[in-house]
Amino acid sequence: MKKQILVVEDDAAIRQGIVDALEFAGYEVFQAANGNDGMRMAVRVGYDLLLLDLVLPGPGGLEILAEVRTSRPAVPVIILTARGEEADRVKGLTVGADDYVVKPFSVKELLARIEAVMRRSAERGSDVKKITFPGGAADLDRREIRFKNGATEELSEREAELLRYLSGNAGRAITREELLKRVWRIDPDKIETRAIDMHVARLREKLHDDPSEPKIITTVRNKGYMFAVVKS
């Protein structure tokens, strides 16, 4: 499946040039032309990397970056800056950007930086490996749930990956379509989203999460599912 990149840039010519270059390089691209759309997409859309301009109508790039680092701490971010914005560039790196590209930039440089950041992101092992919840803990690499009373449950590979993604985005409502893209790695149009509901139901059962009033994997009406932010 193609890697997905979100581009938030208000300059139409620059944005279109970036989108064209990324699509030609084989990426799937989402785009936003202002801070409001950028903020909304940055926290709701599934993507592998964010290209973020700092100066935007509406919420600025640094505000979006701060929100992304709170809600999606593992997503790599490259900020796009003008040559004279050194202070903002430094602040962006301090807030949590992985790299920056100074305008004007070449397509070759941009693609090289994207590839380098994605490679570093994969190598740093940011995926959730263990989670705790009321009553026990799950070792996702071993695909095992162990409860405080000594009981255990085994997870299928798909269940472990689903729990990994949900817990890695704790506190954020995730749509069924995003789960199909990011966990199943398939086009949501090619499978019924009922598959997600069935897997969530099995996860709740194995986590001993009461389906009538779930506390661990909650249902967010008209959106999808959320791994609740809880303390064990």
Higher per-residue pLDDT: 96 or 85: 96
End-of-domain residue from the set 80, 100, 123: 123
Mark whether 82 and 156 lie in a shared domain: no
pLDDT for position 231: 47
Using the predicted structure, report yes or no on whether residue 106 has a pLDDT greater than 90: yes
pLDDT for position 97: 87
Mark whether 134 and 115 lie in a shared domain: no
pLDDT for position 107: 93
Mark whether 18 and 107 lie in a shared domain: yes
Higher per-residue pLDDT: 127 or 214: 214
Using the predicted structure, report yes or no on whether residue 197 has a pLDDT greater than 50: yes
Q: Which of 183, 149, 177 is nearest to 163 (CA)?
A: 183
CATH number, domain with residue 182: 1.10.10.10
Split at pLDDT 50, 70, 90, the class of 65 is very high
**CA–CA separation, 209 vs 218, rounded Å?**
9
Q: What is the pLDDT of residues 18-44, one digit of tens each?
A: 999 999 999 999 999 999 999 999 988
Mark whether 185 and 209 lie in a shared domain: yes
pLDDT for position 210: 94
Mark whether 105 and 139 lie in a shared domain: no
Higher per-residue pLDDT: 187 or 228: 228
pLDDT for position 187: 65
Higher per-residue pLDDT: 193 or 55: 55
Compute, in degrees rounded to 10, the torsion defined by CA atoms 176, 144, 134, 46.
Answer: -20
Which pairs from 35-43 meet CB under 8 Å and 24+ separation?
A: 35/8, 35/59, 35/60, 35/61, 35/63, 35/64, 37/8, 38/8, 38/64, 39/63, 39/64, 39/67, 41/6, 41/8, 42/6, 42/8, 42/67, 42/68, 42/72, 43/67, 43/68, 43/71, 43/72, 43/172
Mark whether 118 and 134 lie in a shared domain: no
Mark whether 153 and 89 lie in a shared domain: no
Domain tally for the chain? Answer: 2
CB 143 within 8 A of CB 154: yes
Mark whether 155 and 76 lie in a shared domain: no
pTM of the model: 0.59
pLDDT for position 191: 61
Average predicted confidence (pLDDT) for the chain:
87
**CA–CA separation, 42 vs 180, rounded Å?**
18
End-of-domain residue from the set 81, 99, 123: 123
Mark whether 150 and 94 lie in a shared domain: no
pLDDT for position 190: 58
Within a domain: 232 = no
Higher per-residue pLDDT: 180 or 57: 57
Mark whether 18 and 66 lie in a shared domain: yes
Within a domain: 187 = yes
Using the predicted structure, report yes or no on whether residue 72 has a pLDDT greater than 90: no
Mark whether 141 and 101 lie in a shared domain: no
> Where in the sequence is the domain holding 149, given as residue range(s)?
130-227
End-of-domain residue from the set 61, 95, 123: 123
Q: What is the pLDDT of residues 140-193, one digit of tens each?
A: 888 999 999 999 999 988 888 899 889 988 888 888 888 887 787 666 665 666
Within a domain: 30 = yes
Within a domain: 203 = yes
Using the predicted structure, report yes or no on whether residue 232 has a pLDDT greater than 60: no
Helix (H) or strand (E) holding 157: helix 157-168
Mark whether 89 and 146 lie in a shared domain: no
CATH number, domain with residue 106: 3.40.50.2300
Using the predicted structure, report yes or no on whether residue 139 has a pLDDT greater than 90: yes
Average pLDDT over residues 124-149: 84
